[in-house]
Structure 1
Amino acid sequence: MNTSKMPLHFNGSLPSVPWNETAVYSSVDFFHKPDVAIIALYVVVLTASLSANTLLIFIVIKFQYMRSVTNIFLVNLSVADLLVTLFCMPVQIAKSVTLLWYFGEVTCKTVNFLQGVAVASSVFTITAMSVDRYLAITQSLRQPWMPSRRGACILLAFLWFLSLVIFVPLLFVAAVEREMVPVLARSKNGSVVWMQRSIEFCTETWPDSIKKELFGAFSFVLVYAVPGCIVVISYSLMGRRLCSVLPPFDQTEGSANSQQRLRLVRERKRVAWILLLLAVLFALCWLPYNILQLLVDVNAVKADSVFSVLPYTLLLGHANSAINPIVYCLMTRNFRRSLRKLICQDPDARFTSKIQHV
């Protein structure tokens, strides 16, 4: 998953001068055109994402009552978002300054691989949360769905493993490609001559176009289409249950017990809507980039035709890493109270874990 490069090919021989005899030489200005708008937006997104995700993880670790299964899923989502923030966003900022690659072969492979893994882990986590919410709401409240923290951690470990396996091919095809370009140089004796300079790009070198198309289609289906369908189905069934006329418990039971269960249903409904919002925002943020990348991978469109648009669609996808923790923290009472306690050190603040995010 890397921004497309514009290939350069020069034919014919050019007179050359040894580098040690060159007083000055022209830079390859064509590849150094900073996109100020992209850079400014990335700085804002990176700062917000780093701050919000770190804060969310810290709050869950610090306050024991915040360690519910739902919040464990959210911490995992924040870890994936931090991977994108720390490894992918700085590289995209550098690409907005110059198309040339200065970070070496290992970084080229690592960034491409980690971006795919982090995005896949985020998708799978959101999918797991949607199924968890569906089971929690649709199961009888007499025997509520209560997955253990250990079970949630095992599931998340499996999802990370699956994400790693899916994008292993990128470790083999991501590579630094070198091109020779002519530059104008001035030698010590004052004469101006053409010479060749080696420049580098981080790109994907597939054995053939068929494998590239298959991988593009495979990753799109497995990481975006199938999880998206599961999320839609889960929340559709969940919404039908929540919007039913009768609440999902026995009306003949005592009034106090019924009121307590009704409050639990309302809390679950509120959490379900928040998680649905996170899923919708994720889908909207990553849809433009996934569609464009799929079209490029299957050769439906030329990479050059979307060259100027692709960085902005990738920025929108990366912005989701900042949106996730901000939305959840702002819309969740326990997070707001925990944040207030953390900042203000209010000894009178009272927290309750009667209604947990299960």
Structure 2
Amino acid sequence: MSDLVVGLAVLFGVIFGRPPDFYSSQIECAIQMGMVVSSTIVSVYTVGLIGLDRFLYIVHGMKYNRWMYPRRARLLIGCTWVLGLILGFLPLTGLWTLYDTQNGKKCWFILLAPPGLVLLIVTIGLVPVLMIIVLYSIILYHAMKKVLQLRRADKNRTNENGGRDENLRIFRGGESTSIGDETAKQKAKNRPSRIKAVKVVLFTCGTIVVTWAPYFIACTMYVFCDPATGACDSIGYAIDTPLALLGLGNSLLNPLIYAWWHNGFRNFMRRILCRDPTIP
């Protein structure tokens, strides 16, 4: 839903914020920025909740059902939306705003919101990012530890068998197939890969860090920059276009990472598209 709202906000800006007239009022600018900021906060915190859910399931699996259940999950998701809507639409309410967008020609949130609100949103947005890095680092540690345990167990079983399984062969029509070799290949295929575990963790954490960290850093630099140096305009334009597009790209990656990579979702789509009820 948050990624969908990001798309609707972009369409809103295309329809109502087209040049040369741009926005006819500051209210339209505040509405679009409210949609973008609120959905962004919800998206980032939803990813953080997914990371927290995985952490509890992997590291504390025995207590997972006691700590995480549907009612609590709905409550946490609802809290993210309340937080996002409050922070995103504060300038629209007039309670905490700074209308300096040149009558809608520069509809930037860093111009619409005062420095204090910008810093608050940046700080709140960085919390789930840092939480994901910490939690996934712990998950990676436990995954690596488990991989080493499985490899030691495989090695111990091989030593106990004394290699006898590898000497058993089946002869068919002049061709020989080693059962031990096939078993070893199958074990190697199914054995958890250390490199794969590292790639999964780095890719999951890296997407949100790469897409949103530059935007948050640039917003912080804009708040503390000196207008007399002229650097504020350059940072502002970078925030408005390339860094904003980079951050919005996270909404494109989220469905790919958290939906398409999910086996249940892929099988569901295959059943619909292929019309094959036998697909599990």
State TM-score, norm by structure 2. 0.68
Is 1:157 equivalent to 2:86 in the alignment?
no
Asked if structure 2 preserves the Cα contact closer than 8 Å seen for 1:112 and 1:174, the reply is no
Equivalent-residue separation in structure 1 for 2:85 and 2:25 (angstroms): 22
Asked if structure 2 preserves the Cα contact closer than 8 Å seen for 1:289 and 1:313, the reply is yes
Equivalent-residue separation in structure 1 for 2:15 and 2:220 (angstroms): 23
Aligned to 1:241: 142
Equivalent-residue separation in structure 1 for 2:110 and 2:249 (angstroms): 28
1:229–1:242 Cα change, 3 Å: same
Aligned to 1:85: 7
Tell me which of 85, 100, 115 is aligned to 1:213.
115
What is the CA-CA distance between 1:243 and the residue it aligns to? 1.4
5 Å-filtered alignment, 1:32-71, equals none
The residue type paired with residue 208 of structure 2 is F
Unpaired segments of 5 or more residues in structure 1?
A: 1-78, 180-198, 248-265, 352-358
Q: Secondary structure at the match of 2:114?
A: helix
Asked if structure 2 preserves the Cα contact closer than 8 Å seen for 1:130 and 1:231, the reply is yes
What is the CA-CA distance between 1:152 and the residue it aligns to? 0.3
Equivalent-residue separation in structure 2 for 1:212 and 1:133 (angstroms): 36
Is 1:125 equivalent to 2:125 in the alignment?
no
Asked if structure 2 preserves the Cα contact closer than 8 Å seen for 1:217 and 1:298, the reply is no
Q: Secondary structure at the match of 1:243?
A: helix
Asked if structure 2 preserves the Cα contact closer than 8 Å seen for 1:136 and 1:144, the reply is yes
Is 1:306 equivalent to 2:239 in the alignment?
no
Asked if structure 2 preserves the Cα contact closer than 8 Å seen for 1:340 and 1:346, the reply is yes
Task: After superposition, give the CA deviation of every residue in 1:256-304 in whole Å (9 maximum; x if it has no partner).
Answer: xxxxxxxxxx8xxx99976863442122112222222221222257332
The alignment-based identity, stated in percent, is 21
Higher strand share: 1
Unpaired segments of 5 or more residues in structure 2?
A: 151-191
Asked if structure 1 preserves the Cα contact closer than 8 Å seen for 2:36 and 2:88, the reply is no
Equivalent-residue separation in structure 1 for 2:246 and 2:34 (angstroms): 19
Higher helix share: 2
The residue type paired with residue 240 of structure 1 is Y
Asked if structure 2 preserves the Cα contact closer than 8 Å seen for 1:80 and 1:119, the reply is yes
1:149–1:287 Cα change, 3 Å: same
Equivalent-residue separation in structure 2 for 1:205 and 1:229 (angstroms): 23
Relative contact order: is structure 1 or structure 2 higher (C-alpha 8 Å, sep ≥ 6)? 1
CA RMSD in angstroms comes to 3.4
The count of aligned residue pairs is 226
State TM-score, norm by structure 1. 0.54
Aligned to 2:187: none
1:93–1:328 Cα change, 3 Å: farther
Aligned to 2:130: 229
Equivalent-residue separation in structure 2 for 1:99 and 1:302 (angstroms): 26
What is the CA-CA distance between 1:150 and the residue it aligns to? 1.7
5 Å-filtered alignment, 1:250-269, equals none
Equivalent-residue separation in structure 2 for 1:132 and 1:240 (angstroms): 17
5 Å-filtered alignment, 1:20-35, equals none
1:201–1:228 Cα change, 3 Å: closer
Aligned to 1:323: 253
